Amino acid sequence: LMNAAVAQDVEPARITRHCDSVSLCFSKGLGAPAGAVLAGRREFIAEAWRARKLLGGGMRQAGVLAAAARVGLEHAAATLRRDHDNARRFAEASPLPPPGIQELNSPLCSVNLMAVETNIVMVSVRGGWPSPAELCEHLQAVSEEELAETGQAVSVLLFPWSAHTVRAIWHRDVSARDTELAKNKLEFVARKCQE
């Protein structure tokens, strides 16, 4: 919800005005250590409250977590916009090395830039080898060869989303420098797979 609101430059209420209920997790892009909020009609919230109690949910001394969630909400626009910018930088061509996915011109992977609207980049994996799962394994693994060639040991965690797609997501703990390192790693892996 918050990523969509920032990407569209609208208030979250504008997106949710036709929803019966809304759940917002504070520990994802907002960076709180835990917590979520549920909104809806009074009867719905009463039933959710009862179900939470039946299942043993609830916390004491939750004020510290609530404070972290508040800080996350207060800084959401700037934090999430930075995440979106980093995701875009990973996907698109850049005038300086390392290149983004689009500029790699690799037969291995590509990205639809029109689909990069928030902090999510869906990378299409072509060919058949490596599969998305194998590509993710190569991106996570660090080899002596990588260290010798690039002077860096970088482990990138992506998710094999489907038979032909890998998903990359940015959050508040992934910096612009981390994004550059991930681009370098993808370039290295793509080159090694082509060889």
The pLDDT tens digits of the residues spanning 155-194 come to 999 999 999 999 999 998 899 999 999 988 988 888 888 7
CA atoms within 13 A on the CB side of 132: 16
Peptide bond into 132 cis (omega under 30): no
At residue 195, the pLDDT reads 78
Confidence (pLDDT) at 126: 84
Domain span(s) for CATH 3.90.1150.10 in the chain: 86-193
Mean of per-residue pLDDT scores for the chain: 88
pLDDT the model gives residue 121 = 95
d(CA 169, CA 159): 9
What is the pLDDT at residue 102? 66
**Residue 44: is its pLDDT beyond 80?**
yes
User: Per-residue pLDDT averaged across 57-64, rounded?
Assistant: 78
pLDDT band at 17 (very low <50, low <70, confident <90, very high): very high
pLDDT tens for each residue of 107-136: 788 888 889 999 999 999 987 778 999 999
**In sequence order, which ranges of the chain are alpha helices (DSSP H)?**
2-8, 12-16, 42-54, 63-74, 76-91, 101-104, 132-140, 144-150, 176-194
Q: Is the pLDDT of residue 3 over 80?
A: yes
Residue 190's pLDDT is what? 86
Tell me the CATH class for 86-193: alpha beta
On the question of pLDDT at 62 being above 90, the answer is no
Q: Cα–Cα distance between 48 and 60 in angstroms, integer?
A: 18
Highest average pLDDT, of 28-37, 59-68, 151-160, comes from 151-160
